[in-house]
Homo-oligomer: A and B are copies of this chain.
């Protein structure tokens, strides 16, 4: 519970309306109720600002109403950033209890910082280190020699294999697995696979967020590395010895095969497949469901299976749709040409 005045200060906005109005929480513009605050960022939703029952709306400084708006307005420079700040205010760490559960199992050799929470039926194995303010959820497994930095949130059921190193402010969602063996086998003369032990580690830098039921395999030799600020969605596969550079975001169900390097600030859609041992340049944008099987230059926009340039794929696919007509025309031309030849 907070007043509009307090919210305007929090998000550094200009308030047009009643500063003492009390707000219980945020809502979508089309679902706003009295004493909620909403926002207008996408012009598609502009009409709702005149009908919303929400008590306040966050808008861009450039917004000029075309008719009366009943709600109070808070004008800001970046609506999405203001919204993120605001929602943080209402977000609570509900899955964590911020204390060490008597039903957890903590090795005597584990080192635990200040204000660390450890949930019920969670395990901290030998020589693991959890730094200040980090929350280890219920039923989490933290293997031997694992290090977890400051202010991390490890949600229930996450399994982190031994020797994994995790930085500060890292969030890992439920049932994700970090540090499982990579898929490495050598075929013997009898055609059977012999396991190549996977003795590398996973290194995760600061400010990384990882979704639920994702898997990041440990390196075979050397390490699998997720750099600062990377965001991974749910159900993603990161194979052994992959390296993902800073501030790259990858949507759900994408898979990256072994030893591939993904550059900085890439934006990779869902269900994308990326082959092993290639290098994707910085700033690459990949459409959902594309398949990349060779290295790419920086700042390309890619689409298709296998991937082409974005507009090249769209053009080719437009003609793919017309292939039956093209084949008809080709047949017709052959007939006409034949006629011309026989007329000669």
CB-based contact A95/B161 at 8 Å: yes
Question: Which of B25, B159, B249, B330 interacts with A326 by CB under 8 Å?
Answer: B330
Contact-residue bracket for chain A: 35 or more
Residue of B nearest to A222 (CB): B28
Report if A23 contacts B (CB, 8 A). Answer: no
CB-based contact B139/A123 at 8 Å: yes
Chain A 196-225 residues near chain B, CB threshold 8 A: 196-199, 207, 209, 211-215, 217, 221-222
Residues of chain B within 8 A of A64, CB atoms compared: none
Residue of B nearest to A163 (CB): B94
Residues of chain B within 8 A of A195, CB atoms compared: 84, 88, 171, 209
CB-based contact B139/A121 at 8 Å: yes
Q: Determine the distance from Cα of A50 to Cα of B303 in the docked complex, in whole angstroms.
A: 40
9 closest A-B pairs by beta carbon, nearest first, are A91-B197, A87-B197, A319-B323, A94-B162, A159-B174, A80-B186, A177-B212, A180-B212, A237-B252
B-contacting residues of A (Cβ < 8 Å)? 25-28, 31, 38, 78, 80-81, 83-84, 87-88, 90-91, 94-95, 101, 103, 105, 119-121, 123, 137-139, 141, 143-145, 155-157, 159, 161-163, 171, 173-175, 177, 180-181, 183, 185-186, 188, 191-199, 207, 209, 211-215, 217, 221-222, 229, 231, 233-235, 237, 239, 247, 249, 251-253, 255, 257, 265, 270-271, 273, 275, 288-289, 291, 293, 305-306, 308, 312, 315-317, 319-324, 326-327, 329-330, 333-334, 336-337, 340-341, 343-344
Query: In the complex, given contacts A191-B265, A270-B273, what are 19 additional A-B residue pairs having Cβ atoms less than 8 angstroms apart?
Result: A28-B222, A83-B186, A84-B196, A87-B196, A94-B161, A155-B180, A157-B157, A157-B159, A175-B177, A212-B215, A213-B214, A235-B235, A235-B237, A252-B257, A257-B270, A273-B288, A319-B324, A336-B337, A336-B341
